[in-house]
Amino acid sequence: MIEDSLSPTAITDGLATRFIGQEVSYYPSLPSTNDVAKRRAQEGAKQGTVIIAEEQTAGRGRIRRSWLSPRGSIALSIILYPPLAYLPSLIMVASLAVAGSIEQVTGLKAQIKWPNDVLVNGKKVCGILVESDVRGNKVDYAVIGIGVNANLKLSEFPQIAPMATSLSQELGRNVSRREMIRSLLTEAERLYLALPAGDSVFKQWRDNLVTLGKKVQVSSGEATYKGTAESVASDGSLLLRQPDGSLLKIVAGDVTLRQ
Ligand code: BTN
């Protein structure tokens, strides 16, 4: 039986970080950990405070989608107060931290699909939602919300089963969510602290993107674009080579791999 308590001490005891995960609030059930994290940030919570919920009843995804977070999954939000220049890098930090923790704890190979979905065997296992409040050129706070399909039977969730998977489904056994979270928080802090040193996090993210070099379809707002995902810019945008040869910079969107 895997030890799987997500209590604050189970997460923080001996955690080798300076600030991420040193303060943890745990809730058996929440509408959304991101909403609680935003409120706590406005109240001045310490940098690195983590909000964890055993389940979410109104989990939110990107582009106003809902996010399924039943018991057995991981739903957490990290509060940070980064300089404005680091804001675009937070999705890189988060997706690399999740991919790294999956590989460390489970041995499964994880890939990142632009901008920040983490896939195992081509299916989505994690979603990331970064929300921030910026006034002028100052970030009041940023919240990194992370949802991982850890121990889920996809057959119980037919609405996501065609494109999603879970760690337990890929492994054939349950994983320790506690170990996953501790590894993820440690990785997130290591990568966040590497941001001032230059573009190593960006390069690592770019080199782990499964999207690059592939023929893709990108929906961005009302528009849909087709082409080859050629590269990414350091602000996280996708550079799409269109059939007419032009290069289009896409700041936000959803990618479908063609063929
Ligand atoms: C996506 O793929 O669209 C992003 C999903 C993000 C889900 C996480 S779960 C923890 C945090 N709380 C939320 O309501 N959403 C994020």
Model pLDDT, residue 257 = 84
Q: Is the peptide bond before 196 cis (omega within 30 degrees of 0)?
A: no
Looking at residues 160-187, what average pLDDT do you find?
Answer: 96
Confidence band, pLDDT 50/70/90 cuts, at residue 2: low
pLDDT at 3 over 70: no
CA 232 to ligand 1 center in whole angstroms: 23
Mean pLDDT of the chain: 95
pLDDT at 1 over 70: no
The model's pLDDT over 223-246, given as tens digits with 9 standing for 90+, comes to 999 999 999 999 999 999 999 999
The structural domain count of the chain equals 2
DSSP structure string for 196-216: GG-SHHHHHHHHHBSSTTSEE
Identify which of 55, 60, 90, 219 to mutate to test ligand 1's pocket (most ligand atoms within 8 A of the CB): 60
Indicate if 125 and 242 belong to the same structural domain. Answer: no
pLDDT at 4 over 90: no
The answer to whether residue 251 is domain-embedded is: yes
Domain assignment of residue 232, given as a range: 215-257
- CATH of residue 230's domain is 2.30.30.100
The answer to whether residue 33 is domain-embedded is: yes
Model pLDDT, residue 116 = 86
The answer to whether residue 1 is domain-embedded is: no
Model pLDDT, residue 221 = 85
pLDDT at 220 over 90: no
Model pLDDT, residue 58 = 97
Are 56 and 75 in contact, with CB atoms under 8 Å apart? yes
Q: What atom of ligand 1 comes closest to residue 61's alpha carbon?
A: 3
pLDDT at 178 over 80: yes
Confidence band, pLDDT 50/70/90 cuts, at residue 259: low
DSSP 69: B
CA 57 to ligand 1 center in whole angstroms: 12
Atom 16 of ligand 1, nearest CA residue: 145
Indicate if 182 and 253 belong to the same structural domain. Answer: no
Q: Would you mind telling me the total number of residues written for the chain in this entry?
A: 259
pLDDT at 94 over 60: yes
Q: Which residues line ligand 1 (CB under 6 A)?
A: 32-34, 56, 59-62, 65, 67, 69, 75-77, 117, 127-129, 145-147
* 116 vs 57 pLDDT, higher one: 57
Are 209 and 215 in contact, with CB atoms under 8 Å apart? no
DSSP 147: E
Does this model's pTM top 0.85? My answer is: yes
Indicate if 108 and 33 belong to the same structural domain. Answer: yes
